Chains A and B, each alone.
Chain A
Amino acid sequence: MPIELKLPRFVGIENRERAAAIVPERSVSGRTLVLLIAIMTFLSGVTLGGVVLVQKSAIAWSSDVGREMTIQIRPVEGEVMDSNLRTAVALAEATPGVASARALTLEESQKLLEPWLGAGLDLTAIDIPRLVVVQLADPAEADVDKLQRDLSAVKGASLDTHAAWRQQLNVMAGTIVASGLLVLTLIVVATVLAIIFATRGTMASNREIVDVLHFIGASNSFIAGEFQGRFLTIGFRGGIFGGLAALLFFLLVGVAAGSMVPQEAGQQLGILFGRFALGIDGMFGILAVVPVIAALTAITSRMTVRRFLQKTS
């Protein structure tokens, strides 16, 4: 047979589409893995969002409560309440770091008791403790000790700095945040394990491709790169689905929480427990999970593939 290498070019070849992937998409347990990664991303996003919400609420509440102190003056026989109130307000206003001090009126004080005693009761016959609300200009600068000392001159007066409340809140918020981070770590570990198993399965089912690539002189890093590319795509796809689902979840829960309780009660709950709004930073946090999960998928699969190739080649 004569060798004739000067043959006319094949016309269609010039417009050939981009070369097909060496590792076929369908051979990498595609849909199952995309679903798995989507679920893991969703769980990570929800956990992260929850942590952000708790932390934000705790910081906001702690900061609000920290800017306020309360002086309580109990009724003492022989003492004139109004006079004691004026003295307490004057002492508070004279304390460094205090922005303002205001005694609650009798009506306001009675209103505070309504939740316990009910509305419409005539409380004029009863001596009830009275409160002075002290707003601090700067909690760090406020001389609480001085105020405490000064108030000892007023009979029946005591100062509540809300420190116990704040401490309790911080402990609770810290516990929730730490638990959330632990859950997040476990989700990441579970994701890595799932990807390792999926990669091993993929390598076993693509053994023929790996063998052929070895025979034709492909390096381990080339083969690992081909598989990594596939897994990166799957990681991104699953991550985007899961991340968007987590954002949607917070959006829907936020809307549902707002519509389930009356507006007034909603405002009070908002003050107490936070607004159930992630904010831009929380949303970016959840979106940042997507590339992290995708990168984690790609890196884990590459390491698994390289270990597999080192064992087999």
Chain B
Amino acid sequence: MIEFSNVGLRYGQGPEILRDLNFRIEPGTFHFLTGPSGSGKTSLLKLLLLSLRPTRGRVTLFGKDTSSLDQDALLQMRRHIGIVFQEFRLLDHLTTFENVALPLRVLGEPEASYRANVTELLEWVGLGQRLDALPAVLSGGEKQRAAIARAVIGRPDILLADEPTGNVDPELSLRLVRLFAELNKMGTTIILATHELPLLDAFPFPRMILNEGEIVFAD
């Protein structure tokens, strides 16, 4: 599903942030992506999200070399990938329901066709009573659950999460990762970036450890 071959990345004329990445991730797996701050976790996630192109090497997603894809094909592929950010990135002027429904709305689907699904998903992540609330009145945990719901409403094949527990307390962090684990059981491939050791220790998922631009895998 995901294959990196000799991938390197640098910003402008700067040093290589990522060097000679070679790995393969199978469908339906769950991986932690970890490493010290500045090790390139976010850059690697951006490569996976297709918002950056590698400066060398080849990134293959869903069996296709992403370097040969045009804008439309990249857009279509991006629609199979969900993303959750540490800082939530919900749109402040939209309600929880509208934020979560956004990926379907941009596809031009009428609200009547997704209203029930969005509501059920929000019930499932525990936000059934917060449908009409604006992000400003949601707690950090509620915002992150809304962000996760937004990332999975389009039934993505791959779900990327960049430090999704960075702004919530340890107990809620565990609950959020359990939520990701449940999504993984439903078949979604998950790559969750975190540098919180208690979380890594609490779950038996394999780890991709980035250090100084290079990656190693550990169980």
**Chain A, interface SS category:** loop
Cβ–Cβ contact A215 & B49, under 8 A: yes
* Chain B residues with CB below 8 A from A14, complex form: 115
Cβ–Cβ contact B182 & A1, under 8 A: yes
Cβ–Cβ contact A9 & B119, under 8 A: yes
**Interface hub of B91, B124, B154, B186 (most chain A Cβ within 10 A):** B91
Cβ–Cβ contact B106 & A216, under 8 A: yes
Within 8 Å by CB of A216, from B102, B111, B120, B178, lies B102
Q: A1-B179, A19-B98, A19-B105 are in contact. Are A7 and B124 (CB under 8 A)?
A: yes
Cβ–Cβ contact B115 & A13, under 8 A: yes
* Chain B residues with CB below 8 A from A22, complex form: 91, 94, 102, 105
Contact of A222 with B by CB under 8 A: yes
Q: How far is the CA of A19 from the CA of B110 in the complex (A)?
A: 10
Whole-angstrom distance between the Cβ of B78 and the nearest chain A Cβ: 5
Cβ–Cβ contact A10 & B94, under 8 A: no
Cβ–Cβ contact A20 & B131, under 8 A: no
**Closest A residue by C-beta to B101:** A19
Cβ–Cβ contact B123 & A7, under 8 A: yes
Whole-angstrom distance between the Cβ of B100 and the nearest chain A Cβ: 10
Cβ–Cβ contact A10 & B131, under 8 A: yes
Whole-angstrom distance between the Cβ of A241 and the nearest chain B Cβ: 25
* Chain A residues with CB below 8 A from B179, complex form: 1
Cβ–Cβ contact A13 & B119, under 8 A: yes
Contact of A31 with B by CB under 8 A: no
**Interface hub of B78, B93, B94, B178 (most chain A Cβ within 10 A):** B93
Cβ–Cβ contact B95 & A5, under 8 A: no
Cβ–Cβ contact B97 & A16, under 8 A: yes
**Chain B, interface SS category:** helix
Contact of A126 with B by CB under 8 A: no
Segment 11-63 of B: residues with Cβ below 8 Å from A: 49, 51
Cβ–Cβ contact A3 & B119, under 8 A: no
Cβ–Cβ contact A209 & B111, under 8 A: no
Contact with B along A214-238 (1 / 0, CB 8 A): 1111111010000000000000000
Segment 174-193 of B: residues with Cβ below 8 Å from A: 175, 178-179, 182, 185-186
* Chain A residues with CB below 8 A from B106, complex form: 213, 216-219, 222
**Closest B residue by C-beta to A217:** B79
Q: How far is the CA of A20 from the CA of B51 in the complex (A)?
A: 27
Contact of A208 with B by CB under 8 A: yes
Q: How far is the CA of A208 from the CA of B58 in the complex (A)?
A: 29
Interface size class of B (residues with CB under 8 A): 35 or more
Q: How far is the CA of A213 from the CA of B102 in the complex (A)?
A: 8
Q: How far is the CA of A9 from the CA of B124 in the complex (A)?
A: 11
* Chain B residues with CB below 8 A from A201, complex form: none
Q: How far is the CA of A95 from the CA of B46 in the complex (A)?
A: 92
Cβ–Cβ contact A219 & B93, under 8 A: no
Contact of B107 with A by CB under 8 A: yes
* Chain B residues with CB below 8 A from A24, complex form: 93
Q: A209-B91, A217-B79 are in contact. Are A13 and B131 (CB under 8 A)?
A: yes
Contact with B along A185-214 (1 / 0, CB 8 A): 000000000000000000000001101111
**Closest A residue by C-beta to B78:** A217
Cβ–Cβ contact B154 & A217, under 8 A: yes
Whole-angstrom distance between the Cβ of A189 and the nearest chain B Cβ: 31
* Chain A residues with CB below 8 A from B128, complex form: 7, 10
* Chain A residues with CB below 8 A from B175, complex form: 1
Cβ–Cβ contact B124 & A313, under 8 A: no
Within 8 Å by CB of B103, from A4, A5, A8, A216, lies A216
Q: A3-B186, A20-B93, A20-B95 are in contact. Are A10 and B51 (CB under 8 A)?
A: no
What are 16 A-to-B residue pairs whose CB atoms are below 8 Å?
A1-B175, A1-B178, A9-B116, A12-B131, A14-B115, A16-B97, A19-B98, A19-B101, A20-B95, A209-B91, A212-B102, A215-B49, A217-B106, A217-B107, A219-B106, A313-B71
**6 nearest A-B residue pairs (beta carbon):** A217-B79, A218-B106, A7-B123, A216-B103, A24-B93, A10-B119
| Sample of 10 more A-B contacts, CB < 8 Å, known A13-B119, A19-B101, A219-B75 | A7-B128, A10-B131, A12-B132, A19-B98, A209-B91, A211-B89, A216-B106, A216-B154, A217-B75, A217-B103
